[in-house]
């Protein structure tokens, strides 16, 4: 019993989870980011968001959502475009992104942008996590 408890606590401590705060721009959206350090000292990032409206429905209308990672060492970095889809059984929109980084993240945010290839956030921020401790 003690071994199972220790293993559960150990596995939970290996990953950091960031929750997105409520948004005034897309109030129905909710999600989180899991970050896990691998044996090569890289950080595996898995982001999942539900009920994020299509960026073309925002005012002003935008083309894409971009996920940004803030780090203590390297500032803010574009880590990718958020892809949104729905399944046959559910019309609920689900968005996800999986990537890796050599920099340790301290927080994440999502902006609505006209162009996916930008290097710095220009558009409206729609979701943000708190900073890690």
| Residue pLDDT, tens place only, 41-100 | 999 999 999 999 999 999 999 999 999 999 988 899 999 999 877 655 556 789 999 999
Residues in contact with 109: Cβ distance below 8 Å, sequence separation at least 6, in sequence order: 67, 68, 70, 121, 125, 127, 128, 129
Domain around 88: 16-128
Distance CA 94, CA 48 (A): 7
Q: What is the pLDDT of residue 15?
A: 87
Nearest one of 88, 78, 95, 122 to 32, comparing CA atoms = 95
Q: Beta strands of 21-63 (E only): which ranges?
A: 30-37, 43-50
85, part of any domain: yes
70, part of any domain: yes
* Share above pLDDT 70 across residues of the chain, in percent, rounded to a whole number: 85
91, part of any domain: yes
Structural domains counted in the chain: 1
Distance CA 49, CA 32 (A): 7
CATH number, residue 67:
2.60.40
7, part of any domain: no
Distance CA 44, CA 36 (A): 5
């Amino acid at each position: 019993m003690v071994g199972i408890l220790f293993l559960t606590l150990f596995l939970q401590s290996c990953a950091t989870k960031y929750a997105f705060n409520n948004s005034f721009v897309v109030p129905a959206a909710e999600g989180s980011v899991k970050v896990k350090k691998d044996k090569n000292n890289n950080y595996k990032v898995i982001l999942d968001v539900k009920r994020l409206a299509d960026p073309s429905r925002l005012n002003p209308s935008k083309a894409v959502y971009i996920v940004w990672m803030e780090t203590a060492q390297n500032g803010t970095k574009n880590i990718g475009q958020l892809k949104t889809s729905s399944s046959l059984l559910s019309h609920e929109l689900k968005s996800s992104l999986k990537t890796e980084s050599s920099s340790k993240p301290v927080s994440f945010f999502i902006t609505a942008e006209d162009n996916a290839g930008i290097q710095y956030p220009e558009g409206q921020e729609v979701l943000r996590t708190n900073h890690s401790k």
